[in-house]
Structure 1
Amino acid sequence: MNKSAKTTRRNFLLGSASVIGLSLNYSQSAVANLNEAKPYRSWEDLARKKWTWDSITHSTHGTNCTGQCAFNVYVKNGVVWREEQQGEYGASSDAPDYGPRGCQKGLRHSKYMYGKQRILYPLKRVGERGQGQWERISWDQAMLEVADKFLDYNVEYGPESVTCGLGTQMVMKRASYASLLRFANISGVQMPEAFAGVGDLFSGAHITFGHVTLGNTMAEIYKSKCCLIWFCNPAVTRIPDAHFFWEAKYNGTEVISISPDFNASAMHASKWLNPKPGSD
């Protein structure tokens, strides 16, 4: 072996001591840098800042739905950024739990509320009907023109010439609904029943029983022996209560769906009757 490659025990120990001393010298500064407090970078705080809010209010959704499920609304900088089911509904002793009520449509309601399709100020038609030509006017001008037309038609044609289309929004806002009905009673304006606004009046029940809306709580479905799902599709249009139908089926209730299409409710029913449209 080459003598230059050899080392003595003494030289090895001296060299090792130098290396250890050098590493300790630099490691102290490295440890000191790690212990220094540094602020979080902006991207690390995104998730933390997202899950903060200024207040929590309580609301429900009346757009195309009469479920009125209770929601917690999280508000930040005056804007609704999140909604959650309240889960405040209790359970009866002999029926399934009612809560938590709410569906995907309700959870997305705030997006609809801030959508571009909303009209935020009065618009007056300036072109022919159907041309889609509008101009923005002030609230004072809008209310004055509506009041003038209301008085003109009442004087010339009588109060029966004036009516109001309700829709689901007005029906579910009971305070506004009550004030509108009070105004109609005083002025003599004709107010149609609520189903006329959306065109889904089930006239058969009205003719047979003399009343439009018949029913009980959803627990009645669970306790029934036979349940007919007719002219409706609760799996899509009554999402918070649809589970009562399927739990009733598992409980022994015969659930029969009558619909021309094999919809989401029909596929879970005990039987599906599909009448042919336009036939007897």
Structure 2
Amino acid sequence: MTDIPRLTPGSGLTDYPPPDRWDDWEEYDARAWPEKVKHEYRLVPTTCFNCESACGLLAYVDKESGEIRKFEGNPAHPGSRGRNCAKGPATINQVYDPERILYPMKRVGERGSGQWERVTWEAALTDIGSRMGTAIREGRNNEIMYHVGRPGEDGFMDRTLKAWGVDGHNSHTNICSSGARTGYAMWMGHDRPSADFANARFILLLSSHLETGHYFNPHAQRIIEAKRAGAKLATVDPRLSNTASMSDYWLSPWPGTEPALLLAIARQLLEWDAVDHGFMRSWVNWEESLRLRYPDRPVTYESWIEAMKDEYKNYTVEFAAEETGVDAHRIMAVATGIADAGSRFASHTWRGANSGNLGGWQTARCLW
């Protein structure tokens, strides 16, 4: 058994119980003070799902009663590394919520009457499955709606619904992140990128990005690590958000004009030849682009780069400044930081510009 690391030598304070003590951990009950009441715990690793970060938690299970007494961070979790926002420990409120539904309930009164009765899982699944089966056989596929608060099954239900011929997946994602997801998915085939923030030299975040919401905890840790190592942080957001207040650059554009800013930065990178040509050759379908859009040009990578310069030529920094209301020199400063970072550039956009404007998905597309 290892010695327990202490926060202060000679004290009883510790940050996290060492893993080899998780099955036999003792703590005094703080609420019993001034009496000294000791509890014996078994610490069970689990996951917080109050957002899609899925940070690690340890459930403190009282060995005597079998009840969970509290949740704290799991230091062995590779994403959250033992650190959690307030929602993690608050999971205890959900576990013991007196209105928590613990088994299937079937409505027995008029809709809205609040009259329910308990039924078995077998009865519930048989009833629901038979209704869905009948609808599919009768060609009423789109009368089926699947709703979930937070989809955490990594796309499994999407594939299932498609197999049934059902276009009826609904969740909070449809409103908060569908715009950005669309832009990302259409342009790079994946709807939720996760940049290597910890090793970045320049970080660009737009709107209410993941680092302010779902992935605030794991990503924010790594952004701070990058800043401590000298990275610069730029935030594009009409609001002086928490992230913007901690940034080296805050660009506050008129809402919905963010794509103009991104296109101007892209034009500057092309003009400066601050482009990762190896990546572009390998991962961009430039040959197809040339054949379809510029059939008169030779199908060479160099020809495509020249075509892109022509494509972006009107998106000058001055154009972006007029469109966004952001000073040209501030746009140029961010473009310079991105160029200087080279391959150690990390970025992300999510809600805001993407979901709050008609065609907002173009923001994620322009960023990519």
TM-score w.r.t. length of structure 2: 0.50
Change (3 A) 1:137 1:48: closer
Aligned pairs, how many?
219
Distance 2:250 2:75 in 1: 33
- AA matched with 2:226: A
| Distance apart, 1:259 and its partner CA | 2.0
Partner of 1:71: 57
* Cα deviation 1:193-242 (Å, max 9, x = unaligned): 977456412133234334312234xxx21322321111335255412331
Contact between 1:222 and 1:248, CA under 8 Å: does it hold in 2?
yes
- AA matched with 1:200: S
Distance 1:207 1:239 in 2: 27
Contact between 1:73 and 1:84, CA under 8 Å: does it hold in 2?
yes
Root mean square deviation of aligned Cα: 3.4
Asked if residue 228 in structure 1 is aligned to residue 210 in structure 2, the reply is no
- AA matched with 1:103: C
Partner of 2:75: 87
SS where residue 215 of structure 1 aligns?
Answer: coil
List aligned pairs for 1:157-172, cutoff 5 A: 157-168=139-150, 171-172=151-152
Of residues 218, 221, 229, the one that matches 1:243 is: 221
SS where residue 87 of structure 2 aligns?
Answer: helix
Asked if residue 263 in structure 1 is aligned to residue 231 in structure 2, the reply is no
Asked if residue 214 in structure 1 is aligned to residue 193 in structure 2, the reply is yes
Q: Percent identity, aligned pairs only? A: 18
| Distance apart, 1:255 and its partner CA | 0.9
| Distance apart, 1:141 and its partner CA | 4.3
- AA matched with 1:153: A
Once the two structures are overlaid, the 10-residue window that deviates more, 135-144 or 239-248, is 135-144
| Distance apart, 1:69 and its partner CA | 2.2
Contact between 1:167 and 1:197, CA under 8 Å: does it hold in 2?
no
List aligned pairs for 1:95-244, cutoff 5 A: 99-121=81-103, 122-124=105-107, 126-128=109-111, 131=112, 133-139=114-120, 140-168=122-150, 171-173=151-153, 178=156, 180=157, 184=161, 187-190=164-167, 192=169, 196=173, 199-201=176-178, 202=180, 203-216=182-195, 220-233=196-209, 234-235=211-212, 237=214, 238-244=216-222
TM-score w.r.t. length of structure 1: 0.63
- AA matched with 2:183: G
Unaligned runs of 5+ in 2: 1-31, 258-322, 324-368
Distance 2:138 2:130 in 1: 12
Change (3 A) 1:62 1:118: same
Distance 2:234 2:245 in 1: 10
SS where residue 78 of structure 1 aligns?
Answer: coil
Unaligned runs of 5+ in 1: 1-42, 91-96
List aligned pairs for 1:8-87, cutoff 5 A: 47-49=36-38, 51-53=39-41, 55-63=42-50, 65-76=51-62, 77-87=65-75
- AA matched with 1:56: L
Distance 2:190 2:172 in 1: 12
Contact between 1:236 and 1:264, CA under 8 Å: does it hold in 2?
no
Contact between 2:161 and 2:169, CA under 8 Å: does it hold in 1?
no
Distance 1:252 1:44 in 2: 45
- AA matched with 1:214: P
Distance 1:145 1:188 in 2: 20
Change (3 A) 1:213 1:44: closer
